[in-house]
């Protein structure tokens, strides 16, 4: 269990913020499966929040069922970050998270995200100002540093601790690495040694065993899972079961079918059609990994013209798999 101020996070498992992925539907799905401690919203521009951008406000909508929920903001202007954090608090988020790890050029150019690791004075000013402004727990997510020569995560971690941050999450790669190579978990152990606030480990947890191994090897207090959850949204429930010493169950084909269809119907109902199609294709790619004939389906969906045809195709593919499974049994 991890304490974020008055908030008890149990099990200490985080759904990582992922732009274009951890939207309301996906967060709800993961929450309904169970085992997750905190679900994170994708990062939101502090500037867009403060300007009252309509699309941004829609992105920030969440339902009480998702709680505890963290809203992550990014930006480099201290006053704007403060205003945005106040909006996050006002909306009723349980946790405000600051992104200091995004390596995307669009974000770096605005000197936000991981660029803040290159300007620790500014990073500190943002953390202190936001911390002073809000009363909900504040967390900060960052990487090892900008590149191998500038690994300053220990300094940033100390700054966070000294300024009242409730916990830090470390993605154990540099910004330059983007998503290449392997996350180097040894740094999680170093950060854990250096700090007394909770350290949430992140990077390359693909299986429940990875989460347990990360905690055992590094001593980190919690684990954050990103991409692993897109292929296996059951990973939190499975990990929580393993942490509690119980048996871990694998989702059946019927479970997978129900989850995929539930998710896809949510997307189809909420999103405009071209956007929905894009999202459905993306998730089909992840969800069907390892399923018999999954590749065939992934190829077929590229040609599908609209959401209705898409849903019918995926449903009949999954139903056929279920029938084949029953016949084989
Ligand atoms: C599609 C995608 C979008 C992401 N968006 C965000 C984001 O909005 N904020 C953030 O802090 N990290 C973001 N990340 C990074 C993840 O939160 C996480 O740190 C990274 O994927 C490593 O964890 P994993 O190996 O469990 O995926 C994103 C990653 C992916 C793959």
pLDDT at 314: 96
Cα 309 from Cα 303, distance rounded (Å): 10
pLDDT at 282: 94
Neighbouring residues of 46: CB distance < 8 A, sequence distance ≥ 6: 73, 74, 75, 77, 80, 81, 83, 84, 85
Question: Is 41 within 8 Å of 235 (Cβ atoms)?
Answer: no
Ligand 1 atom nearest to 202, measured from its CA: 23
Cα 171 from Cα 226, distance rounded (Å): 10
pLDDT at 248: 85
To the question of pTM greater than 0.95 for the whole model, the response is yes
Q: Does residue 19's CB lie within 6 angstroms of at least one atom of ligand 1?
A: yes
Residue tagged 């993605």 (tokens): 171
Q: Does residue 201's CB lie within 6 angstroms of at least one atom of ligand 1?
A: no
Q: Does residue 214's CB lie within 6 angstroms of at least one atom of ligand 1?
A: no
Pick the CATH number of 2-243 from 1.10.3720.10, 3.20.20.70, 3.90.1150.150, 3.30.360.10: 3.20.20.70
Question: Is 205 within 8 Å of 234 (Cβ atoms)?
Answer: no
Enumerate residue ranges in the chain where pLDDT < 70: none
Question: Is 314 within 8 Å of 287 (Cβ atoms)?
Answer: no
- CB burial of 147-167 (b: ≥16 within 10 Å; e: otherwise) equals eeeebbbbebbbbbbebebbb
pLDDT at 67: 98
pLDDT at 205: 98
**Atom 15 of ligand 1, nearest CA residue:** 18
pLDDT at 302: 86
Pairing status of strand 222-225 against strand 13-15: parallel
Cα 5 from Cα 89, distance rounded (Å): 15
Q: Does residue 17's CB lie within 6 angstroms of at least one atom of ligand 1?
A: yes
- Verify whether residue 102 is a known catalytic residue: yes
Listed by start position, the domains of the chain span 2-243, 253-328
Per-residue pLDDT tens for 235-279? Answer: 999 999 999 999 888 999 999 999 999 999 999 998 888 889 999
């Amino acid at each position: 269990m991890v304490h974020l101020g008055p908030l008890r996070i149990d099990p200490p498992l985080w759904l990582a913020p992922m732009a274009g992925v951890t939207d309301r539907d996906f967060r709800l799905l993961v929450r309904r499966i169970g085992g997750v401690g905190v679900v994170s919203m994708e990062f939101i521009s502090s500037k867009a929040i403060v300007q009252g951008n309509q699309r941004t406000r829609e992105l920030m909508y969440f339902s009480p069922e998702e709680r505890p929920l963290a809203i992550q903001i990014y930006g480099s202007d201290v006053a704007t970050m403060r205003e945005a954090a106040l909006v996050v608090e006002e909306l009723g988020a349980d946790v405000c998270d600051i992104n200091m790890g995004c390596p995307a050029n669009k974000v770096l150019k605005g000197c936000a995200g991981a660029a803040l690791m290159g300007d620790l004075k500014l990073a500190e000013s943002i953390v202190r100002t936001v911390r002073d402004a809000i009363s909900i727990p504040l967390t900060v997510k960052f990487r090892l540093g900008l590149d191998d020569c500038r690994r300053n995560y220990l300094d940033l971690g100390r700054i966070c601790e000294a300024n009242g941050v409730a916990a830090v999450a470390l993605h154990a790669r540099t910004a330059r690495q983007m998503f290449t190579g392997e996350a180097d978990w040894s740094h999680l152990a170093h950060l854990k040694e250096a700090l007394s606030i909770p350290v949430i480990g992140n990077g390359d947890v693909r299986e429940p065993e990875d989460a347990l191994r990360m905690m055992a090897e590094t001593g980190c207090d919690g684990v954050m899972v990103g991409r692993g959850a897109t292929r296996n949204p059951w990973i939190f429930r499975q990990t929580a079961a393993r942490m509690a010493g119980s048996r871990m169950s694998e989702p059946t084909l019927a479970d997978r079918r129900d989850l995929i269809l539930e998710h896809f119907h949510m997307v189809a109902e909420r999103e405009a059609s071209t956007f929905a199609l894009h999202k459905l294709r993306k998730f089909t790619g992840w969800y069907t990994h390892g399923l018999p004939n999954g590749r065939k389906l992934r190829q077929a969906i590229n040609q599908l013209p609209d959401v209705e045809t898409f849903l019918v195709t995926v449903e009949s593919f999954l139903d056929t798999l279920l029938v084949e499974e029953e016949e084989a049994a």
